[in-house]
A and B are shown apart, each in its own frame.
Chain A
Amino acid sequence: GQQVMQIPQYQHVQEGEDFTTYCNSSTTLSNIQWYKQRPGGHPVFLIQLVKSGEVKKQKRLTFQFGEAKKNSSLHITATQTTDVGTYFCAGVGIYNQGGKLIFGQGTELSVKP
């Protein structure tokens, strides 16, 4: 079945350092979504990428969707303590049924002040 792999599983950075998490799907995706889950909280939608090669920015966050629509990345510039949490990518397959999302395992980011 369709799988979405996400690396790294954990990332510890010093405040001010950059951070990147990578997502790779076993099949071509219709779109990919990114969510952030704070400790003890629930996933909150960040952004959706639909087009091949698409790049979107939200302040210090940059999201990319690969040309083949099978991989994606999230880059955070100059991390802050408010960035702490687990970042999930979630893909929607091109033969999707019911809007099912296939989630990556998540990257847990910790930021040392």
Chain B
Amino acid sequence: DGGITQSPKYLFRKEGQNVTLSCEQNLNHDAMYWYRQDPGQGLRLIYYSQIVNDFQKGDIAEGYSVSREKKESFPLTVTSAQKNPTAFYLCASRREYSNQPQHFGDGTRLSIL
């Protein structure tokens, strides 16, 4: 979806290193989401935010952190505490308080060096 930009497309992490994945949207959506996708497991929710300066843990938040200082931006940090970070990370956004679907970015593929 052209309105959500994730960067970088590919990212490599060294042992003990924190890395930050960027997600920016220009759709004026209130809610933003981070998912992790592993083969055969579908999408699992890491964190979500319904409004600026507020966010909630999803199903697999351990080892991750987020911030929502601006409506347009919802960066995800994969910390060194996340022992198995290799995955495809997807950011999504949605207009809040409606039945609107989520719109996804192109994703970031994170690998361990």
- Using a CB–CB cutoff of 8 Å, the interface residues on chain A facing chain B are 1, 6, 9, 31, 33, 41-45, 48, 50, 88, 90, 92, 97-101, 103-106
Contact = CB atoms under 8 A, between A and B. Distances in A.
Give the secondary structure class of A's interface: loop
Nearest to B102: A101
Given A48-B101, A98-B96, 17 more contacts: A42-B90, A42-B104, A42-B106, A43-B90, A43-B104, A48-B99, A90-B43, A98-B31, A98-B50, A99-B94, A99-B96, A100-B33, A100-B48, A101-B45, A103-B43, A105-B40, A106-B40
11 contacts: A1-B59, A42-B90, A44-B1, A45-B101, A45-B103, A88-B43, A97-B56, A98-B31, A99-B31, A99-B50, A101-B43
B11 to A, nearest CB: 16
Given A42-B90, A45-B101, A99-B96, A105 B41 contact: yes
A43 to B, nearest CB: 5
A88 B7 CA distance: 24
Contacts of A33: 101-102
Contacts of B16: none
